[in-house]
Amino acid sequence: MGFRNYLLKRLGYALLVLFIILSLNFLLFRIMPGDAVSMIMDPKFDLATKEELRSQFGIDQPIGTQYIKYLKSLLSFDMGRSFNTRRLVWDELKERLPNTLTLFFASFITTAAVGISLGVFAAARRGTFAENFVTGAGLFAYAVPGFFIQLMLLMIFGYYWPILPIRGTMSAPPPPGAMAQFLDRLWHLILPAGSLMVISFGSWALYTRNTMLEALGQDYIMTARAKGLDKKTVLYKHALRSVLPPILTLIFMSLPGAVTGAVITETIFSWFGVGKYLIDAVMQQDYPAAQGAFYLIALSVIVSNLLADLAYGLVDPRIRVGGGAK
Amino acid sequence: MSKIRGGNGNNVAQEPPKKLKKVTFWQQYRRKPLGMLGLCIVVVYVLAAIAAPIITQYDPTKDLFLADNLAAPLWMKNLSEKYKDAPVTISKTVDLDGWNVTEGADFSITKTTYDEEDFMLIDMPAASSSGEQDPMMEILKDIYTPEELAEMFGASAAAKTSFSMDFTFPYNYSPPNTFNFTFDYAVEGSSPEATTVARLLIISPSGKEYDIWGMDAYGDWPISYITVDGRDVPVKMRLGLGFFDDPSKIILSEKGDYKVKFMVETDSSTGAKIYITPVKINIPGLLHGILGTDHMGSDLWSQLIYGARISLLIGLTAAFISVFLGTTVGIISGYVGGAVDEVLMRFVDVLLAIPSLPILIVLSALLGTSVWNVVILVAMFSWMGTARLVRSQTLTLKERAFVEAAKASGATDGYVMVTHILPNVMPLVFSALVLRIPSAILTEASLSFLGLGDPRVPTWGRMLQNARGFGAFTVMAWWWLLPPGLALTFLSLAFVFIGNTVNEILNPRYRERS
Amino acid sequence: MAMLEVKDLTMYYKTLRGYVKAVDSVSFELEKGKALGLAGESGCGKSSMATTVLRLLPSNGNIMGGSVKMDGKELVSLSEEDFRKEIRWKRMSMVFQGAMNALNPVHRIGDQIMEAILAHENVSKQAAKDRMLNLLDMVGINPKRYNEYPHEFSGGMKQRVVIAMALACNPDIIIADEPTTALDVMVQAQVLTAMEGLRKKMGLGMILITHDLAVIAQTCDDVAIMYGGKIVEYGSAKDIYLKPRHPYTMGLVKAFPNIAAEKQKVRSIPGSPPNLLSPPEGCRFNPRCPMATDKCRTEEPPLVKSQKGEQKVACHRESEIEEGVDIWQ
């Protein structure tokens, strides 16, 4: 069965990447000048804590043993304690993860929906304003720094017309009532998620338009038209359906980029998420926290890559049924 | 663009052979309007980068406090009621020639230097008894020594010498946020028990006197650095103002000629030498230059112009290193093939799977923030696309007759790669290079924006970061936010235009891909 | 009255640099059950001809004039919706060039055939499926494979599927645009034979578009030779293949070796096809014609009955060409 082999191959590959990233994460914090513990050690710690840390890191053991220990601890999400809060890094990440996921899915779904439908729209109406708009928006998204657009949107909607909250995931104190809280969170979500959509829908729309146009130029579209199918059937059943594999791949391939975008977005809008946690940790030289956040982000990227492969395999009959090489 | 079915398209494309003469790259390039636009934009940036010291008179990082922090651009006074009368920075140093001596004109007033600084030396003669004195003192002075007299009648009873001088400066703006005076002051040669009192007063156009500084020196007084700032609490106390009152708003609320008066009075029996440096008066403007100032009162226009240097430098260098790496790996991987190819390509895959911005964040935090670290990091995580592209091109080149021929004639692999493969992938490499530049520029800007750039160099990303972090939003300082963002946008757009045009000319087959 | 009558059909592509005169005042007829070959070099307008008749033009293709009549009914003026519903596939279907790409890779072949049936006929899904299976059987494909995807078939088989699809709605005319170009020679022959058999059996009219005169000679009753968007010679396949009267046709016949004939020089026609943005004055073939005179360069020759043969020829100097003389010597 071709699909299973394909899947196993991709899974193995994802594990390889995970392993390499873990090793990199291990090495990065050890190739630095000075001894690893003094580097990771918060000078504010008292002697006993330092001793405990030393034994915890097992700095006296050979590097191989250390490495295996490190792998084991990370696989069980044991990322040590934050220098700043003295709390377990994983506990802190767990608090932030839902926020990041909320922002991520909200922006991702709106971006994909707006981008793909605009792209199809533009392809269906060649040479109209819609097409020029999409082409322009695509170029715009490629060349304009996203955080700049986000800053502008923040200035416009947060300060000039102060209609949207400028920071955070919810009001403090939160309004009473579950419904009110939900709406309050939604209200806080608009600017970060919306601005992410604004900066990235263009490339989606452009990509969809291009693949759609390519598909519309294919012989099988001519066949479909010649068969006397109506425009809608030709456009959706034949053209759109046949570009779904590349678009779906794009959806998942842009997951890592979306994670990256979330880091900056969370910083700009003070969104209480994993990305901001990484930046804060890096800024405060809180190495266990930085390492943990990086590990979590890398892991999510690997998983989304795997999802991309899976989705691609499911949607493309050449892989699903086997026979054709990728 | 549109595909014409049935091969009619061929007819359109086919020109009679005689018209097909060899045209140079430049001849083709200059016909492309977008490409030329991109080139023009880049030329403007390069000129700005080179001529930065001529275009702007300030150093973007060293010249601080040129105006008040977050001063608006000068042209804002035409756009906003708020800035209509706003002050521009008044900064001047008044030396001896600028002062107008109003009392004690007969004293010896000279210029001197001490410890390599210019001083005005006011030589105050010993206190004479001819001043207005308590009549009792006149009677008793034959019986007691002056010391005993001073003890009995207090300082005011003693004979005094006074000196005063003033200068005028016009102020025709709305009140500033603060003002400050700085100078060094010392007293020498005074008798130990004497008191030398100095005062600094501001006299408004309507004649109100504000006593903003004073110092009572007993005996000699060492050189001390005096700074009087409108925001200082002692100033507020002297003026009898509350903690939250703003002296500058009160004192400088009028328009017209203000007088600054310096007075000194001593009862020293031996006279006193007053040392005072030329007084520096500074009223930080709320309007400044072409783009205003940042939170440190540093010139934003100069930051913008010098930012072009960094962006171009980082963009070009990082792109160059990245494409160099990518080309090398791509050629070796494609040409050598086999296990080498497999390993290199898997390595490429792994690197592509690593989220680049997070790892750049972590690495730049670990390696420390310097321009070169940023360049190298950006290059290290961006060469993989080029490697893949070059590899696939190399694979097809490898099968071509001239490569076979070269190999058959005994050329070494290295020789073939450098002399046969490399020149043939150059067009691809060149356009990859140009298209790599904007992404390198934007990556650097993102890192700077996150605060991971070199703190010593002005970059557009850092300008945006400062704008966000230091209150550009609360005062709606869009002139702080817009220029660096637009500068980045236009520069990267320009390189995209150039890259696409180059690609169109050199690699028509790859046009669709990029 | 002929089943399909095309008269003075003119179709230009609008481009930024002007009109590309891809089909210029073309006339021909097709009787029921007969086959017409449309031949010419690539880029002569023959495929554009086909897409014009089926009104499958890209957005920049404009029909500038002329008429297409089917059973006496004008098709050019028919509304897009009526044309789609009444004519496409139902009366006229098409087999496209490039067997590889004529089928949508993401749909099962059976679905693609059924889709055509269901779009035009008010029949149940089961009935459509039965007919589809029957069609597959007819073109020599195991009906059990109906739920496979195109990539699981070889090129020749895909082309058979395409043919089965073309027959799905019992059309009167099939337009076959280079149906065998992408296939290798053996498969070409098989596909052609299969197609011929079906056509004869079902009494279909066919317009076969190809650059291969030999194929036309084997399968077609009539031939129209196109050059530069115009028909330069039109008549029965036998006449034209054996006794071409237009210099271009003569060159074209020479360009295809006849395996049966002994020792024949294969020669291509020097020069390249005209740029249809600004075709040559007069006869469009004049820049490449060895017999061109001043008249040929200024005056366009009409398509008229040949003086020495049965076919129609558009050449000023046709009467001067002696039979059997190789003007391309």
Interface test with C, best of A128, A211, A219 (most C CBs within 10 A): A219
* 3 state SS of C5: strand
> Tens digits of per-residue pLDDT, B297-321?
889 999 999 999 988 998 999 999 9
Contact A226 C103 (CB under 8 A): no
Count the domains in chain C.
Answer: 2
In chain A, the residue whose alpha carbon lies closest to the alpha carbon of B485 is: A148
Q: For residue C144, what are the domain limits? A: 4-224
Is residue A53 one of the residues assigned to a domain?
no
**Is C172 within 8 Å of chain B by CB?**
no
In chain C, the residue whose alpha carbon lies closest to the alpha carbon of B2 is: C58
Is residue C47 one of the residues assigned to a domain?
yes
Position B384 scores a pLDDT of: 92
Residue C98 has pLDDT above 80, yes or no: no
CA distances from B45 to B42, B164, B269, B313, C282 (A): 5, 55, 68, 11, 56
Sequential DSSP letters for C59-109: TTEEEEEEEEEETTEE-TTS-HHHIIIIIBTTTEEEE-S-TTTSS-TTS-H
Distance between CA B479 and CA A152 in Å, rounded?
11
- Separation in Å, CA of A228 to nearest CA in chain C: 5
Is residue C138 one of the residues assigned to a domain?
yes
In chain B, the residue whose alpha carbon lies closest to the alpha carbon of A218 is: B3
In chain C, the residue whose alpha carbon lies closest to the alpha carbon of B9 is: C43
Buried b (16+ CB within 10 A) or exposed e, C178-202: bbbbbbeeebbebbbebbeebbeee
Q: What are the mean pLDDT values of chain B's consecutive 10-residue runs (514 residues total)?
A: 38 42 78 91 94 88 85 89 88 88 86 86 75 61 68 60 90 90 90 88 91 89 90 88 87 91 88 90 90 89 92 92 95 91 88 83 81 89 91 87 83 87 89 90 90 85 90 88 93 90 76 38
In chain C, the residue whose alpha carbon lies closest to the alpha carbon of B6 is: C47
* 3 state SS of B221: strand
Contact C88 A228 (CB under 8 A): yes
Q: Look at residues C181, C201, C224 and tell me which one is the last residue of a structural domain.
A: C224
Rounded to two decimals, the pTM is 0.76
Residues contacting residue C183 through CB under 8 Å, at least 6 positions apart: C99, C155, C156, C159, C191
Position B308 scores a pLDDT of: 92
Distance between CA B480 and CA B467 in Å, rounded?
6
- Separation in Å, CA of B436 to nearest CA in chain A: 12
Task: Among B128-137, C185-194, C202-211, name the one with the lowest average pLDDT.
Answer: B128-137
Q: If interface means Cβ-Cβ distance under 8 Å, which residues of chain B face chain C?
A: 2-12, 14-16
- Number of neighbouring beta carbons within 10 Å of residue B2: 15
In chain B, the residue whose alpha carbon lies closest to the alpha carbon of A288 is: B362
Query: Virtual CA dihedral for C152, C158, C164, C167, nearest 10 degrees?
Result: 140
Residues C30 and C134 in one domain: yes
Position A326 scores a pLDDT of: 31
Which tokens sit at B268?
């020293």
- Antiparallel, parallel or unpaired: β C230-236 and C312-313: antiparallel
Residues in chain A with pLDDT < 70?
1, 29-46, 50-61, 316-326
Is residue C328 one of the residues assigned to a domain?
no
Contact C20, B4 (CB under 8 A): yes
Is residue A189 one of the residues assigned to a domain?
yes
Residues C19 and C149 in one domain: yes
CB proximity under 8 Å: A 217-276 to B: 217, 222, 256, 259-260, 263-264, 267-268
Contact C43 B9 (CB under 8 A): yes
Position B132 scores a pLDDT of: 53
Q: Look at residues C171, C200, C224 and tell me which one is the last residue of a structural domain.
A: C224
Look up residue A98 and give its DSSP letter: H
What residues of B are in contact with residue A142 (Cβ under 8 Å)? 438, 496
Residue C328 backbone phi and psi in degrees, to 5:
-95, 10
What residues of B are in contact with residue C42 (Cβ under 8 Å)? 7, 10
The CATH number of the domain where C199 resides is what? 3.40.50.300
Is residue A68 one of the residues assigned to a domain?
no
Residues C186 and C159 in one domain: yes
Interface test with C, best of B1, B3, B10, B11 (most C CBs within 10 A): B11
Residues C165 and C285 in one domain: no
- Antiparallel, parallel or unpaired: β C4-15 and C18-30: antiparallel
Q: Look at residues C201, C224, C247 and tell me which one is the last residue of a structural domain.
A: C224
Position B514 scores a pLDDT of: 33
* Helix or strand run (H / E) with residue B215: strand B209-218
Is residue A57 one of the residues assigned to a domain?
no
Which tokens sit at B161?
């010498």
**Is C55 within 8 Å of chain A by CB?**
no
Sheet hosting strand B195-203, strand order edge to edge: B100-103, B161-171, B256-266, B195-203, B209-218
Residue C260 has pLDDT above 70, yes or no: no
Position A205 scores a pLDDT of: 87
Distance between CA B484 and CA B254 in Å, rounded?
37
Average pLDDT of chain C, as a whole number? 85
Distance between CA C157 and CA C99 in Å, rounded?
9
Position A319 scores a pLDDT of: 63
Contact C54 A226 (CB under 8 A): yes
Which tokens sit at B422?
């490399």
- Separation in Å, CA of B380 to nearest CA in chain A: 14
Residues contacting residue C185 through CB under 8 Å, at least 6 positions apart: none
Residues C103 and C247 in one domain: no
Contact B362 A158 (CB under 8 A): no
Q: For residue A243, what are the domain limits? A: 3-32+77-320
Contact C211, C90 (CB under 8 A): no
Is residue C329 one of the residues assigned to a domain?
no
Contact C177 B6 (CB under 8 A): yes
Residues C179 and C252 in one domain: no
Position B146 scores a pLDDT of: 66
Sheet hosting strand C18-30, strand order edge to edge: C18-30, C4-15, C61-70, C73-74
Residues C190 and C313 in one domain: no
% of residues, chain C, pLDDT over 70: 94
Position B17 scores a pLDDT of: 43
Distance between CA B421 and CA B393 in Å, rounded?
9
Residues C208 and C235 in one domain: no
C43: nearest CB among B2, B3, B7: B7
Is residue C326 one of the residues assigned to a domain?
no
- Separation in Å, CA of A178 to nearest CA in chain B: 32
Position B128 scores a pLDDT of: 62
Distance between CA C262 and CA C255 in Å, rounded?
15
Count the domains in chain A.
Answer: 1
- Separation in Å, CA of C54 to nearest CA in chain B: 13
The CATH number of the domain where A139 resides is what? 1.10.3720.10
**Is C154 within 8 Å of chain A by CB?**
no
In chain C, the residue whose alpha carbon lies closest to the alpha carbon of A242 is: C106
Residues C163 and C284 in one domain: no
Name the nearest CA neighbour of C242 among C309, C193, C189: C309
Residues C177 and C287 in one domain: no
Residues C151 and C245 in one domain: no
* 3 state SS of C226: strand
Q: How many CB pairs under 8 A join A and B?
A: 125
